[in-house]
Structure 1
């Protein structure tokens, strides 16, 4: 069986794009969610992610050719190799508890079991004062109008931190100028990872309204209204699932930032007084070869500064 890979709509204003180059070769195996090509639209270069898995049979578009949305750009032949399936692992079993075994079996969204070694991943954690988020939330919500949520504040702070530490904004080991922010939306059946394209161009109000629109569309089954292509960074709000001591392996080839619900802990103030404060635990995980723990730590430190000081 053959499958067509088409040029998706990567932004609301996009009508066409220029092919900048292929990232794979004919005859190579292509995984679902893997970048196959790069295109330029609106002076921004973005990857095209495969929605299918198989062997690349043919490229239909040449480099520097202008392509319209919906055009078939490549043909993929279904791989006859059988996938290993498991009925015993739940969709969110790619969440790993601290202190668990090094070799971990985890399952991605299409029920395929992947074996990974935990040593292949970098996990860097940091606790950030929740009061900074609450203060920014209060400042944003004028006249008691509760439109901006704590999650909005965190997402916007992440975008600002990615601007300052752009090396973290990468896909398949390629750093991108455009920030395409994926975030998790859970339904009763499955977890979805919609993407906010060119998120750095949105102010916090637009970011908030667009996020709410996407969540509403997904939970009402209107997936055709949602973009799932080309994430360059992923956020997972574990606090929404009631978790406070777990982190997540990236389910896409991006860095993944997970964070918990607020945890009450004793903290020391600037006056050396011990008080009970609320902290969020953030964990940045990555399997990108060009990212090391120093970069991850720098990102989390910058995120903390943005939340509490900027």
Structure 2
């Protein structure tokens, strides 16, 4: 029997995906493990593998089209199956449209059923189904002229559309909250939101609306860290080893600080606070269409070398759109580093359901007072944004000062 290729749920927050491209076309043979399509989720663009084998008979969702999780994207026929009688699966319910204005009549939806009156399954081509939906044709009343009685385009086009019954929209419907949007000029560039961009907007709005934020900052002496990094990288350069970034050291400082102040490594859970047993560092990585946050899992068990190599590998996969769904799981605290863009300090938005995010600014050379003398020094601003339902000010300050300690005494991170 035919096998449906469905839109997979590739992340915990994914409700729909965009079919970016097909790697296979109708008529191609597919084996288990073959990459058949690229799907854009709310977090990244990912490759979709085949979990069955056979021949692709029909592609139902075209490139660039959005589809809800579970919708059928294509149909595979098994070996030796008669592909001439393989038909499209039942159509998914249409996405609910916004309510019309009270004075606007709304046409009643006409079902394009896939089961005939006698209980037998209707055989309908995808194109015929689409046209039936557009014309309001009840497919149970259409006689198919195709192979094995299949309903095809010509059958639907010659059928009489069902009458539409005007239904008045409730006049007392509650007003839908609207944003304040700009006036768009004829020469302005308008780019539709991608799935990722939509989720970023939704989650950040949810964070600012529901999480009581507060913000702390400390200035760190970055000279010891830069000296140690220079020494280590000089040695690894000679041996062809790993090159360490400033971010690697800050992540390690965060991990060690989470072990010292575990109350920050936590989350609000309605009527309780969850303090996580493991430290999962969500690393904010800028990509073409927004931001992704893959996770260094069980980070408290990893060396500086392992952390550095893992972040580099995740960043490359993020740029190549090769991150896997499980690489976003397990985050307990986030780091956002804008130092490479010349930003000295900033306040980040908490990444729900986590309770804290560390913001890292660039290392700035400035005049500082050292034992009463004005000298040139290297300073780095570290910020901490917290969910006040979980973390109190004194706890946050203790954590932030622990991060400062490890940055200013970086050899402690190597013990």
Normalized against structure 2, the TM-score is what? 0.48
Structure 1 distance, partners of 2:226, 2:404, is: 13
Please state if 1:210 is matched with 2:310: yes
Structure 2 distance, partners of 1:289, 1:5, is: 31
Q: Secondary structure at the match of 1:132?
A: helix
Q: Which moved more, 1:211-220 or 1:258-267?
A: 258-267
Alpha-carbon offset, residue 264 of structure 1: 2.7
Give the structure 2 partner of residue 176 of structure 1: 276
Give the structure 2 partner of residue 289 of structure 1: 389
Q: Secondary structure at the match of 1:304?
A: helix
Please say which structure displays the higher CA radius of gyration: 2
Give the structure 1 partner of residue 29 of structure 2: none
- Cα 1:220–1:226 change in 2 (3 A) is farther
* Structure 1 stretches of 4+ moved >6 Å: 3-8, 79-88
Please state if 1:111 is matched with 2:205: no
Contact in 2 for aligned 1:261/1:280 (Cα 8 Å): yes
Please state if 1:128 is matched with 2:128: no
The runs of 5 or more residues in structure 1 that have no matched partner are: 9-31, 34-78, 89-106
Higher helix share: 2
Structure 1 distance, partners of 2:180, 2:294, is: 25
Q: Secondary structure at the match of 2:289?
A: coil
Alpha-carbon offset, residue 6 of structure 1: 9.2
Please state if 1:148 is matched with 2:244: yes
Contact in 1 for aligned 2:359/2:383 (Cα 8 Å): yes
Structure 2 distance, partners of 1:252, 1:244, is: 25
Contact in 2 for aligned 1:162/1:168 (Cα 8 Å): yes
Q: 1:161 aligns with which of 257, 263, 282?
A: 257
Alpha-carbon offset, residue 123 of structure 1: 0.5
Aligned length: 226
Structure 2 distance, partners of 1:197, 1:132, is: 28
Structure 1 distance, partners of 2:394, 2:346, is: 21
The runs of 5 or more residues in structure 2 that have no matched partner are: 1-6, 13-41, 44-94, 99-176, 183-196
Please state if 1:237 is matched with 2:321: no
The alignment's C-alpha RMSD in Å is: 3.6
By relative contact order (CA 8 Å, sep 6+), the higher-ranking structure is: 1
Q: 2:364 aligns with which of 228, 245, 263?
A: 263
Alpha-carbon offset, residue 139 of structure 1: 4.3
Q: Secondary structure at the match of 2:282?
A: strand
Alpha-carbon offset, residue 302 of structure 1: 1.1
Q: Secondary structure at the match of 1:295?
A: helix
Higher strand share: 1
Alpha-carbon offset, residue 87 of structure 1: 7.4
Contact in 2 for aligned 1:141/1:148 (Cα 8 Å): yes
